[in-house]
Copies of this chain bind each other. A is one copy, B any other.
Amino acid sequence: MKRSLGAKTLAVPAPVWVVGTYDAEGKANGMTAAWGGICCSKPPCVCVSLREATYSYGAILERKAFTVNVPSAGQISIADYFGIASGRDIDKFAVTGLTSAKAEHVDAPLIHEFPLNLECALIHTLKIGLHTLFVGEILDVKADESILNVNGRPSIEKLNPPVFATGEGAYFDIGQSLGAAFSIGKELEV
C-alpha cells in the first residue's frame, strides 16, 4: 500500500560532498552539500546545488571553480561540521585541523585528508529556486593510493563514503556488493 507524502525532497541515496572554494581574500573554505550528482559523461561533469545565502555561492561565481571532496565514513563528524559552520565567520580548516592545497587545474582548494577529490571548472549556472545548480566540468580526479582497486580506480568499499538519508536526516555508510552493473540484469533478457 502506497502513501502520498507530498512534495518533498525525499529521494535517496544522496551524497555527502564537501565543496571547496577560495573566497575573495584567498581563504580556503569548504561546505557540505547533499544536493548534487554526476550530470554528464562527456565532458565529465558533476553538479552541486547551493543556496545563494551561503558563503560558497559567491566564491564559486567569482573563481569559476570548485572542488568536490569526498570523505570516508570515519570523517563524518568533520564533514557534518563543514555543513554547520559558515566560512564567512570561521576558518573551518583551522578548526578541524584539515589542510588545503590548491588544485592543479582550477582556482579552488582540495581537502588533502579526504581520500577523493574532483577539480571542477564552472561551466553552467542554473538558478532553480532557493538553490542554484552549478555544473562543473571535472578536469581531474585525485585519489589516495589507499582507496584504489586493482584497476587503479577508486573503490567504494575502500573509500566507504557516507550517504545522506533524506528521510532520517542522518548519514549511513556503504554495505555489501549487489553485483556488476550492466551485467546482473542480463538474466532477464528475452
Contacts and interface: CB of A to CB of B under 8 A. Distances in A.
Interface of A: 1-15, 17, 34-47, 49, 51, 68, 70, 73, 76-85, 90, 95-96, 104, 112, 116-118, 123-124, 126, 128-131, 133, 135, 137-145, 148-149, 152-157, 159-190
Contacts of A155: 165, 167-168
A172 to B, nearest CB: 5
A144 B1 CA distance: 6
Contacts of A141: 4-8, 10
B15 A129 contact: no
Nearest to A147: B167
B162 A96 contact: no
Nearest to A155: B167
Nearest to A180: B170
Per CB-CB distance, the 7 closest pairs between chain A and chain B, nearest first, are A37-B37, A80-B185, A81-B185, A156-B165, A175-B175, A153-B167, A171-B178
